[in-house]
Amino acid sequence: MASYDIVAGWKNFSVSGQSRVIDVATYAELERWASDPEYNQQELCLTALKKKRVASANSPAAEVAELRGPFDPRTEVSADAKHIADKIVMHLWILFVALPVVLGILFAILTAK
């Protein structure tokens, strides 16, 4: 089995260059590198992935989302509110459009002789 490095020329990088490559990697890249036993830097990717997960779990945005819950009242509208709004619009349409049209036709029929 062939083993290979994350980036070509990995051994020529300085320690800070190597850590920068790991730091700027996305979750998907880190997961792919950490799960592939052929990569020489599999352990580095595993530790970096764990650090990123811990950092994202402790971030202020994660805490706010956890406190807010799954429903964001600023951007989401519940299904109940949509249903109630649909019913209100339907009844207003009946009251202000359909009823006057029916009453107008009925009035025209009854007054025409």
* Boundaries of every domain in the chain: 1-75, 77-113
Tens of pLDDT, residue by residue over 59-76, are: 676 666 656 666 665 677
What is the rounded average pLDDT of the residues 91-104?
A: 96
pLDDT of 90 higher than 70? yes
Question: pTM of the full predicted structure?
Answer: 0.47
Residue (of 60, 61, 23, 28) closest to 44 by Cα position: 23
Tens of pLDDT, residues 22-33: 788 888 888 887
pLDDT of residue 70: 63
Predicted confidence band at 96 (pLDDT cuts at 50, 70, 90)? very high
| Longest Cα–Cα distance in the chain | 102
Look at 102 and 78; give whichever has higher pLDDT. 102
From residue 1, alpha-carbon distances to 6, 11, 32, 80, 82 in Å are 16, 20, 18, 58, 58
Is residue 73 helix, strand or coil?
coil
Q: Are 49 and 31 in contact (CB under 8 A)?
A: yes
